[in-house]
Structure 1
Amino acid sequence: MQEDLWEFALAVYARPGVEGACLRLQEAGADVCLVLTALWLDRRACARDSDGLTRLQRASQHWQDTVVRPLRQLRQAWKAASGADESLAALREQLKGLELAAEREQLARLARLAGHWPCRESEDHGDWLHALAPREAAAADLDLLAEAARMIRV
């Protein structure tokens, strides 16, 4: 199941417009890994419950706060200076790789957490996306992501 979420996330992210939508959601305060997990749960028609919602949010926030966000902040802080310093640019690329590895691990942890939740093969779902997306998220971005997820055949 964990690998399924990673493959699903990669496939969704590769769809036209998704990268931009994810960046806008991130700027609005969203945890993109949590949003991708919500899309995956909706796609699998997993029943939503408040306990599960809270567990996902807590696990995700902890990993984002302690691992992903510090890596991202350092990578972004080096952006300007790395343009004139090849050694720093190489280190910044390594940071980018660590950030991606940290996001992959976050998705694996979220998939393990949700691994035993009841899911069914139907169009009915628990609307995890709207429950886990920030209130500031643009409806057009959420619609684009939901449509991209529907197009995936993982």
Structure 2
Amino acid sequence: MQTDLWNYCLNLYARPGVEQACLHLQGQGLDVCLLLCAAWLEQRAVACDERRVAQLKACAGPWQREVVQPLRQLRTNWREAATHDDALAALRAQIKSLELEAERTLLRRLESVTQGWPSAQSQEACDWLQRVACDAVHPDCDALHQLRAAINLA
């Protein structure tokens, strides 16, 4: 069943262990939106090459650095203080909502980049996750395995 990237991500993220794996990988400096896009492409057997990986990273990198990460950092910085300040807690909830919308926008942009990318012509495995995760110094193999297992169930 074909589905858009956003709905695929919502379904995948809801699977047991995926949220924890993604948050762990995010803590290692990986872009979860890029990882989820990689999972979507891998599940759809889209041919994987360095040029395409570079296109996705060029799309995601600036948006992550300039939009998503500052919102996430602000929300994280306010976590403790918001437990004692209702007004700050309400603002923090709004920041969280903005962060989610920024991630949704990024996923739409990533999906747009992939328009017209066909499935692989051969039966070779397309290891999108590994290619995207190679930016981490030592990507957590257990977390990647958890994500890959969830893809295979999708």
Asked if these proteins are the same fold (TM beyond 0.5), I'd say yes
CA distance in 1, matches of 2:4, 2:89: 33
Report percent identity of matched pairs. Answer: 46
Cα deviation per residue 1:95-134 (whole Å; 9 max; x = unaligned)? 0001001001100100000111121598643211000013
Which residue number corresponds to residue 53 of structure 1? 53
CA contact (8 A) 1:44 1:120 kept: no
Moved more, 29-38 or 142-151: 142-151
Structure 1, unpaired ranges of 5+ = none
- Matched AA of 1:39: A
- Matched AA of 1:137: P
Q: How does 1:12-91 map to 2 (within 5 A)?
A: 12-91=12-91
CA-based RMSD of the aligned residues comes to 1.5
Which residue number corresponds to residue 141 of structure 2? 139
**In 2 relative to 1, CA 99–41 (structure 1 residues): closer, same or farther, beyond 3 Å?**
same
CA distance in 1, matches of 2:115, 2:125: 16
Cα deviation per residue 1:61-85 (whole Å; 9 max; x = unaligned)? 1110111001001101111111110
CA distance in 2, matches of 1:25, 1:99: 18
Structure 2, unpaired ranges of 5+ = none
Cα deviation per residue 1:22-52 (whole Å; 9 max; x = unaligned)? 1110011100000000000100001011111
Query: After TM superposition, what 4+ stretches of structure 1 lie above 2 angstroms from structure 2?
Result: 120-125
CA distance in 2, matches of 1:23, 1:34: 13
Moved more, 125-134 or 81-90: 125-134
Paired residue total: 150
CA distance in 1, matches of 2:17, 2:147: 9
CA contact (8 A) 1:13 1:19 kept: yes
CA contact (8 A) 1:75 1:92 kept: yes
Which residue number corresponds to residue 112 of structure 2? 112
